[in-house]
Amino acid sequence: METRTKVLAAIVTRNRPRLLDNAIRLLCDQTRPPEGVLVVDNDSAPDTAALVEQWRARNPLVRYLNTGRNAGSGGGQMEAMKYAVEQGFDAIYTMDDDCEPEADALEKILAAWELLPDRDQWALNSLVIDVANPDLMSFGLVDKYKIGTAARPSILYRRLSEIPAGRIMGGLFDGSGCLFNGSFIPVALILRAKYPREDLFIRGDEGEYAFRLIAHGHLATVIASRVRHPGAEAASKDMALWKHYYSVRNSVIIHRLYFPSLRTSLPYLAVRALKHWLLVILRRDPRMNQTLALAVFDALRENFDRDAFALK
């Protein structure tokens, strides 16, 4: 008889107890419960630890890890994966605190994973649906991640109806997944791909890790497994300067890592520069101009030491 897969569900959070409470509840109520629910707290105010303690008193599955620092999404996910490895779990099902997994999300992703003949080489992601508009995917699905020189431009599908017939095989959309939003990753693949990068902090850390998973195995989205999440437009609305900084800095770093040729890099950087300069002109915000210039400058120097929260 096959041994049951030991799954750690993980939530990375910082100072959002209302969202965290909902995420814990949804993971504890899964039709196929995980063997543990870990809250990775990026050094929040005390009300977060108090909330988790209340949950632990009701449900022995719930666990708590305070990183002792604001490690960002990348660092929080790194700590979650290290915990899964060190505690002897077979796989992790991980997300941020603003995810809302449907009741059978883990059951359906596990069912798909266990049918794969080489399953330890596969990371699977739930389909991430816009919480405000169920007809849309929150971030879409990209066809298709390329490592090295891209043969053709990537295509972004925002609706399931846009995906060509035959592109979904066996319930999987192969080659793309919205990482850290209902991501199922076997420990065997984590050990090959290593851990997420804390120095990327946020906004792009998940994209870099997706490239690494694909380089060491496979990444696919399970269409039947659903997670609700705020859409990309909601996430970008009224974005703080420090988020703009990380978005631009990390995108340039990632592009230089995985698309290093001049043929692909120069057009990419030109388009990004034009996009952000237009935003600066339209907003007439000199702070944005300075932030974007610093982001590109730091990316080209691979400088990870700037305190982005101090940008004014």
pLDDT at residue 275 in the model: 67
pLDDT at residue 153 in the model: 56
For the segment 236-255, what is each residue's pLDDT rounded down to a tens digit? 666 788 998 999 899 889 88
Q: How sure is the predictor about 257, in pLDDT bands with cuts at 50, 70 and 90?
A: confident
pLDDT at residue 312 in the model: 65
For the segment 20-78, what is each residue's pLDDT rounded down to a tens digit? 999 999 999 999 999 999 999 999 999 999 999 999 999 999 999 999 999 999 999 99
pLDDT at residue 280 in the model: 60
For the segment 286-309, what is each residue's pLDDT rounded down to a tens digit? 777 778 878 888 888 889 999 888
pTM higher than 0.75: yes
Is 282's pLDDT higher than 70?
no
Angle between helices 205-216 and 241-258 (to 10 degrees): 20
pLDDT at residue 299 in the model: 86
82/311 Cα distance (integer angstroms) = 32
The bridge status of strand 172-174 relative to strand 100-101 is unpaired
Per-domain boundaries in the chain: 7-234, 238-310
Is 184's pLDDT higher than 80?
yes
Is 1's pLDDT higher than 80?
no
Average pLDDT over residues 135-146: 83
Q: Does domain 7-234 have CATH number 3.90.550.60?
A: yes
Q: In percent, how much of the chain has pLDDT > 90?
A: 68
For the segment 87-117, what is each residue's pLDDT rounded down to a tens digit? 999 999 999 999 999 999 999 999 999 999 9
Q: How sure is the predictor about 155, in pLDDT bands with cuts at 50, 70 and 90?
A: confident
Is 281's pLDDT higher than 70?
no
Average pLDDT over residues 121-141: 95
